[in-house]
Amino acid sequence: MTASIFREYVAKYLRPTVARIYELINGKPEGSQPKLLHKVMLTEEHTTKDSWDGPSISRCSVSVGDVPMVSSIPLNSRISFWGATSIPKFTIAYRKKESDIKDLQVAIALGNSEAQVAEMLMRNADLCIKGIEVDKEIIFLRGLSTGVTLIPNENSNGEHICIDFGYKEENTFTVGKRWSEDGAKPLSDLRVVLEDAESVGLRPAVMMISRKAFNLLRSSSEGKQLGASHIGAITTEPSNLPVPSCAILLEALKDELSIDVVIVDSTFRVHAEDGTIQTVRPWEVANVVFLQSNIVGRLVWSDCVEKVFPIGGIEYAYGQQGTLISMYHEVNPFSEVTMAKALAIPVIDCASEVFILETGTVTSGSKKETKAKKERV
């Protein structure tokens, strides 16, 4: 790698471009960017180490293990051993090929403004930075909605590292009827979890629910009755009640259960290992998660090695939480490369205070109680 052939533009525009991209991601000047929950639900923690282990950085019980990349997260089993591993490195790069470089040269020759040329040159910086942030968001939402997540293992081509944040089995509840079935009682199911939490001295303040599960709650008999009661509607035939609007049911739930409701509807398009574009919904759609606070942990990050040992001639810009953006030239193939790197991991604290309701799993009650009943039989 060598200095960019457009170095004068890169030196002038890379840093302000990176700053503007982060402003958009954080939702300051515009509201068109997707809301990334890890940005508001995690505090930041910088570490000088390049590895982490459960006891040293986390106040929760963390265990790790390797699983194949093609495997689903092992939600029904827990990794049983402790371990330490490198803080995962996220790397995203986009390349401007010869044809793209010629387009830039033509724009300069035709007298396009400096700002127009810079905008063409900097487009990939936006893709790189947003890709890094989406990767962190996917890991976070998977972990928060299930207690288990996957992080990339740069030392293996075929495995990810499975992280178990130590959610308690007795704090995971199932339902009498799946919420997707007729006769389901989702409001009653929610009350069971809240009452159990109160019995051990906890009072969840936030309930996170997928859009699909929330709509099942809205269309249920209990959901319709709660919505109607909230606005003072009276009917002698509950089956004739309309489905309440999202706004009305959100208000009704807060009034009835004294809890803030957050609807999670995050969808991302990402590059799969085979190069195809796939749609990812990281939140476990059937799970409702109860939290004591909207701050649930930390984004632990470290600096990339280039901060101490930069490569001569390469232009760098620093983003948030240690993200490093670089632009440089390569001869074979002849191209201009934009790359973003980050060393970071979302860590969920206070796992023992998290409660989960699995709306698609039928047994009714906490999993620990159900398991105990089966063992007695």
Is the pLDDT confidence value at 28 over 70?
no
- pLDDT winner (highest mean) among 14-28, 111-125, 200-214, 312-326: 200-214
Domain membership of residue 72 (yes or no) is: yes
Domain membership of residue 242 (yes or no) is: no
Distance CA 171, CA 355 (A): 5
Record the tokens describing residue 187, joined without a space. 């409001």
Domain membership of residue 285 (yes or no) is: no
Q: Where are the alpha helices (DSSP H) in the chain?
A: 7-25, 38-41, 54-57, 98-109, 114-146, 186-199, 211-219, 221-230, 246-257, 367-376
Distance CA 211, CA 281 (A): 11
DSSP lists the bridge partners of residue 137 as none
Mean per-residue pLDDT for 363-368?
Answer: 73
For the domain that residue 69 is a member of, what is the CATH number?
3.15.30
Residue 12: give the domain boundaries.
7-166+296-352
**71: confidence class by pLDDT, cuts 50, 70, 90:** very low
CA 348 to each of CA 130, 145, 164, 232: distance values in angstroms, whole numbers, following the listed order = 22, 11, 10, 40
First to last CA, the chain: 67
**279: confidence class by pLDDT, cuts 50, 70, 90:** confident
Domain membership of residue 1 (yes or no) is: no
Domain membership of residue 98 (yes or no) is: yes
Residue 266 · residue 34 · CB < 8 Å: yes
Percent of the chain clearing pLDDT 70 (strictly above): 81
The b/e string for 243-260 (b: 16+ C-beta within 10 A; e otherwise) is ebeeebbbbbbeeebebe
**Regarding predicted confidence, which is higher, 136 or 150?**
136
Is the pLDDT confidence value at 72 over 50?
no
Residue 304 · residue 87 · CB < 8 Å: no
Distance CA 214, CA 315 (A): 47
The number of angstroms, rounded, from the C-alpha of 310 to the middle of its chain's C-alpha atoms is 30
Mean per-residue pLDDT for 325-351?
Answer: 90
* HSE-up of residue 346 (Cα within 13 Å, Cβ side): 28
Whole-prediction pTM: 0.86
Closest CA to 125 of 342, 344, 326: 326
Number of domain units in the chain: 1
Angle CA(332)–CA(337)–CA(338) in degrees, nearest 5?
165
Per-residue pLDDT tens digits for 82-103: 344 568 888 889 999 999 999 9
Q: What is the DSSP string of 249-314?
A: HHHHHHHHH--EEEEE---EEEE-TTS-EEEE--S-TTEEEEESSS--EEEEEE--GGGTSPPTT-
* HSE-up of residue 311 (Cα within 13 Å, Cβ side): 14
Is the pLDDT confidence value at 255 over 90?
yes
pLDDT value, residue 60: 43
Domain membership of residue 230 (yes or no) is: no
Distance CA 92, CA 106 (A): 28
Domain membership of residue 108 (yes or no) is: yes
**326: confidence class by pLDDT, cuts 50, 70, 90:** very high
Is the pLDDT confidence value at 176 over 80?
yes
Radius of gyration (Cα) for the chain, nearest Å?
A: 24
Record the tokens describing residue 363, joined without a space. 């047994």
pLDDT value, residue 307: 84
Angle CA(8)–CA(304)–CA(277) in degrees, nearest 5?
80
pLDDT value, residue 254: 95
Phi-psi sector, 275: left (phi>0), alpha (psi -120 to 50), beta: left
Domain membership of residue 180 (yes or no) is: no
